[in-house]
Structures are given as C-alpha cells and as structure tokens.
Amino acid sequence: MTKKIKKNKLTKIIAVVVASSLVAGYIGLTEIRFKILGQSISQISTSTVEIVNGLIQKILNQNELIQELNKEVDNKIEKRLEKQKYDKVKLEQILKQVNVQIINTTIGASGSGVSIKYKGQYYILTAGHMLGNKEDKIYLFENDRLISEMEVIKHSFTTLEEDENGDFTKEKDLLLLKPKNKFLQPKFYAELADIEPLTATEIYIVGNPMSIEDVLCEGRIIMYQNNFMYYINHTYFGNSGGGVYTLDGKLIGIVSHIYPLQPRWDFPPYLIYGAVRLSKILEFLGDIN
C-alpha cells in the first residue's frame, strides 16, 4: 500500500515537472530528469518546487523580455509611419511651391506652370496652348500678385488634330518661359524623372483649376499614346501647363488636354486627361543652351 502511494506521488511530481518543461519550451526534460534521479522520495518534493519555481521565473523573465521587444518594435513602426506621413506632407508642400500661375493677358487665359532648373538656368515649363503668338503678354502671378513678365524661350504647339488612323501624332503642346526679372529665383525646382512610369502607376497632379492656386490631387496612368500620357483624376480648366509627378516627386508630364471617350453620340462621354509625356519633354529641352 505504501509503495503504491509513493509511486503515485512520484508519478504526479514527474507529471508536474514534464508539464512545466513543456511550458518553458526551450528547457529539455533530460536536465530535470537527472536532477531528480538518485534522490530520496522525501527530497523530491523540495527539489521539484525549486525547479518549478525556477522555470516559472524564467518564463516570467522571458515574457517581460518579449513585452519589451514588442514595445520597441511598435515604437519603431510608429516612428516610421509618422516619418512617412511627414515626408508625404513635406513633398506635397514642395510640389505646391514648384507650381506657378501663368496668365496670358492678351487672350485672357489662366493656366499653370512648373519651376524647373535646366543647365543651371531657371525656367517655367508650361503648356504650348497658353501662348497664341509671340506678341502675347504672359505674366507670372502668385496669390493674385503680378510677379514678373515672362520671356518666351521656346514654343512648340500645333492644333489638336487626328490623322488618318485617329491618332494625335502631330500634336505638340509645350512652352518654355523665363522671368524677365533676372533676380527672381525660386526656392524649389521640379526634378525630371529618369524613366517613364508603367501604366497603372499612381501619380500627383498639381495646378490651378479655375484659378484656384496650388490644388494637388492624385491620379493613375492608364495608357501612353504617341506624344502623350493619359491618366484619370480630377483636373479641370486651369490645370493646363501644370505638372504630373511620380509619388516621389519627379516630373513626368505637363498637363495638356481633356480627351472624351464616347462610344455613341447619345452616350455621356468618359473623360480622361492627356499630358505631354516625359520623353517629349526631354526632347523639347534637348537643344536649350
């Protein structure tokens, strides 16, 4: 009778030890088993309690360590997200600073433009249809204030016409201006991208729709066709000449025109927006000294 009771006690004790080892995870059964073997039944109780207490303390210490690591990871993620939000807001503000308002007082047209630095010189790049002819008076405005009259450096524009294939291959729509005020230098400039983004790429569009200055919205490229990149977003009249940018702020297009897609005359048109693509901008600027 006594032996059976002792065996049952021993079995229960070993079961407790095994369960504790499983909870701890990384502590092997072999170490515990060898600590118990060779001891008397009266010694096992005290020895087991010490081992279990040690295991529990290790688990508690491990949990504290895990909690500290989790806090550290959470803090790093939170800081990274905050930095990303800050960088995004900062970039959007810079793109608004790069945007300018162009007004042709001769034909009464208001549009947008982009401050660029090319070969060390400050220019305004805008849409070609902002200029009727070289005798037109064009001015740079900001917050309804006249900043400077503009000098025409290069103009490339032909009326939007379809060829026999229905493509707008002859269309060009770029204008390069320079402030007549030689001391005028902006704080920020747009940087040209190295390559044209793939279709479905998300983009920024910045301009002055209906003369509302520095409106920034997001869009997406849907296709390239000849001289143009087509995209969807919420631009409007007055955005002409404004910049189209990648999400890291590189210039990839100049807003040019609205292109209605209409399957039948009695269907409402679906509007997409055309911008002079990067390759044509680089070609246009190529011979500027």
Higher pLDDT, 25 or 211: 211
Does residue 22 carry a pLDDT above 50? no
Q: Residue 2 falls within a domain, yes or no? A: no
Q: What is the pLDDT of residue 19?
A: 47
Report how far Cα 125 is from the mean position of its chain's Cα atoms.
23
The proportion of the chain whose per-residue pLDDT surpasses 90, expressed as a percent, equals 49
Q: What is the pLDDT of residue 42?
A: 52
Do strands 173-179 and 228-232 pair parallel, antiparallel, or not at all (unpaired)? unpaired
Alpha helices (H) along the chain = 2-24, 29-36, 41-98, 278-285
Q: Residue 263 falls within a domain, yes or no? A: yes
Q: Residue 66 falls within a domain, yes or no? A: no
Place of tokens 């704080």: 187
Q: What is the pLDDT of residue 58?
A: 79
Does residue 32 carry a pLDDT above 50? no
As a whole number, mean pLDDT of residues 271-288 equals 93
CA distance 98 to 114: 6
Banded model confidence at residue 45, pLDDT cuts 50, 70, 90: low
Q: Could you tell me the two tokens for 221? A: 């490229």
Q: Could you tell me the two tokens for 255? A: 């807003």
CATH code assigned at 273: 2.40.10.120
Q: What is the pLDDT of residue 93?
A: 94
Q: Residue 247 falls within a domain, yes or no? A: yes
As a whole number, mean pLDDT of residues 105-126 equals 94
As a whole number, mean pLDDT of residues 119-127 equals 94
User: Is-above-0.75 flag for pTM?
Assistant: no
Does residue 36 carry a pLDDT above 90? no
Q: Residue 37 falls within a domain, yes or no? A: no
- pLDDT (tens digit, 9 = 90+) per residue, 192-203? 999 999 999 999
Residues 6+ apart with CB under 8 A from 76: none
As a whole number, mean pLDDT of residues 277-287 equals 94
Query: Which domain covers residue 182, as residue numbers?
Result: 98-285
Tally the domains of the chain: 1
Banded model confidence at residue 283, pLDDT cuts 50, 70, 90: very high
Q: Residue 9 falls within a domain, yes or no? A: no
Does residue 110 carry a pLDDT above 90? yes
